[in-house]
Amino acid sequence: MEDSPARRAGVLEAAALELAGRGWPVFPLRPRRHEPAIRDWEARATTDPAIIRRTWEIAPWNVGVACGPAGLVVLNLHRGPPGDHGRQHLAQLAAQAGSHVPAETHTVLTPSGGEQLYFAAGRETVPRSTVRISPRVTASLGGSYVVGAGSVIDGKRYRVVAGAEVMTLPPWLASLVGVPVAVQPQPTSVNRSLEATIARELRRVEEALAGNRNHTLFVAAVRLGRLVNAGGLGEAQVRAALTQAADRHQPPGVLTSREIRRAIDAGLRHYATPQRNVLGAAGHGHVPGAQVGHEGRM
């Protein structure tokens, strides 16, 4: 059958309706391209079938999905040279977090050989940004959009390859992309005393003075890491909570993201070591495996 403009528009209209049926506001992209066809696309994105039908009757628009209004965080795994795909980068990040890459979530294959992994984060919690978390992995959040399944670029279609359902954004990924998450105690093992311990350590990190923040973060990672070792908390939960607490330092920016990650890594590696051998006296000392940040020597 001839691939006429009318037929293409019908296929793309159906794709837009299907995406909107999932509760994801959509808007038109230029035919066979990535760019929005309208201004104020985020505000005008819609799930209304009547508006979608009228819009896609005009032209064979590609379909944009507005991530913020949809409550989505979409990881874009970009294809590089052989052996250098976003999949490998994400697997390394997952291993560093002591976790794994969720394989069950809604996944779209792009015409260039990349992948889009869709995660639910809630409309109220999706920040407005696009985050690059590795050379081959970016995250589309609020204020960003993705090209939806069914769209066509260079004669090739975006197509769903896995996961009918969209998984909730895991804590370790939420930490990487800056989506707020809370430590969720495990009800079978976490009691009020444990909750108080968690809150106390996070408060110490938040309130640490410049010049001692790196070590305070390390100490908190050691102490909360022991709870991980005892089975009371998940490591990804601890990493996410400590990262957020460190990000709330005032003034901000004294520790870089890399320094924060290294201090947490060092603390969690030592969670089974007796505290007197690791923590030092009166909150001072060297953080094993961590570099002194530009806030000054400890």
Tens of pLDDT, residue by residue over 104-132, are 889 999 999 999 999 988 665 565 667 88
What average pLDDT does range 62-84 have in this prediction? 90
pLDDT of amino acid 151: 97
Confidence category of residue 287, pLDDT binned at 50, 70, 90:
very low
16-28 core/surface letters (b: 16 or more CB in 10 A; e: else): bbbbbebebbbbb
Confidence category of residue 183, pLDDT binned at 50, 70, 90:
very low
User: Which tokens is 122 given?
Assistant: 């809630």
User: Which tokens is 12 given?
Assistant: 């793309």
pLDDT of amino acid 14: 95
pLDDT of amino acid 282: 32
Torsion sign across C-alpha atoms 109, 29, 137, 183? negative
3-class DSSP state of 25:
coil
For the full predicted model, state whether its pTM sits above 0.85: no
Question: Chain-centre distance of CA 88, in angstroms?
Answer: 16
H-assigned helices in the chain = 5-21, 41-44, 49-56, 67-70, 86-96, 171-177, 192-207, 213-229, 235-247, 257-269, 275-278
What average pLDDT does range 25-33 have in this prediction? 96
When the pLDDT of each residue in the chain is averaged and rounded to a whole number, the result is 79
